[in-house]
Structure 1
């Protein structure tokens, strides 16, 4: 069975690059699914997945193409309605630059470790952009967003990249997040100390956000399980998504600083 499957996979590696000539979105998506299925079959059979440079180039190119499609699909009006609109152009540029660097490294047949490092950077940049685009309601853009994520995931699986988290970096990030939450609470208190601007519910939510950020930092310092920290981070994201729309209503002198906070506070 293994020998027959190797022959089948060998045939696929020849056919797969040819499919891109059709420039058909549905065909490219199906080809990606077939490649992912091959990855799963290799794992089930206990066979090492050969790293095919042509497939990696195809995936990296598709990711870049879909990223461009994302930017083209979003109208200016849609962009301006997103809560993190000011931060999106820079995030898009960073995602584009890191994906180009990844594609170049693959083209140049650089060592797998180097390609893996560039993949991590590209994935981090993409995750940030995807977070900013989360509230978007645009089917065409959403389809391209899903395709980019799938392409990056396929590259990770093809290379066998294992993402490991540096606890020291996580501690620094959590401490920075808590500091920003503290600053936000100070701004909100100043805002609501002005006549006609007292919203107890918002102040309570911001205070709960500060507490949640502090709890996350403690969880990391106490070396709690990654899934516990991940759940706490997800909770912070949920709290932030509830708070963020209300912050945009600020019209007092604190508005500029609050808007800057909206653009930079990213759990």
Structure 2
């Protein structure tokens, strides 16, 4: 589904992402973890078109997408969410999703009905006519997922989707992400909440100081001494 080959991103003399190569298979949930400043979001920004890498190649469904804009990538089937959930604060929740339906690259005869279907799919928990600025964190997270899915995405990039959720909300959110995967959407997620990442991912890559130091299944990552030393720590392995 997605492949990066030797991706590098610099900011002046700082190498934020260094020679990172990953392969994400269709139908899997692929995690990216690492310490703060490891280059995870910068790498995701290269994939989603917010940054153009200085080196390397990114392919989506075997098509070179390196350097394409976020709008172009959206129309090809790649959508993303952000660390801080974004919305049109003065619009209703329903209208927020309708915008994505209308401008997501595929025409629908009834955008409102399509938006309601997606909001129901993600379990949006309150009335759809509520104004977005009045939503709490969990509601905004579900709204942002609905907006991303409304673009008819085949690849969904999630940047700390579990951040700000309470421990009691995590199991339900894990099941929602798996439900999205099971609907046919491949997922790449950045996360610091280890209970979430270990509970939802099929495979994980670990970044440290901009470089990939490990790549494997959840069990392989848990048992990798380089990962334990650089990021997980003994208390987070199990």
Q: TM-score w.r.t. structure 1 length?
A: 0.22
Which structure ranks higher in relative contact order (CA pairs < 8 Å, sequence separation ≥ 6)?
A: 2
Report the structure, 1 or 2, having the larger strand content. 2
| TM value normalised by structure 2 | 0.23
More helix by share: 1
Larger Rg: 1
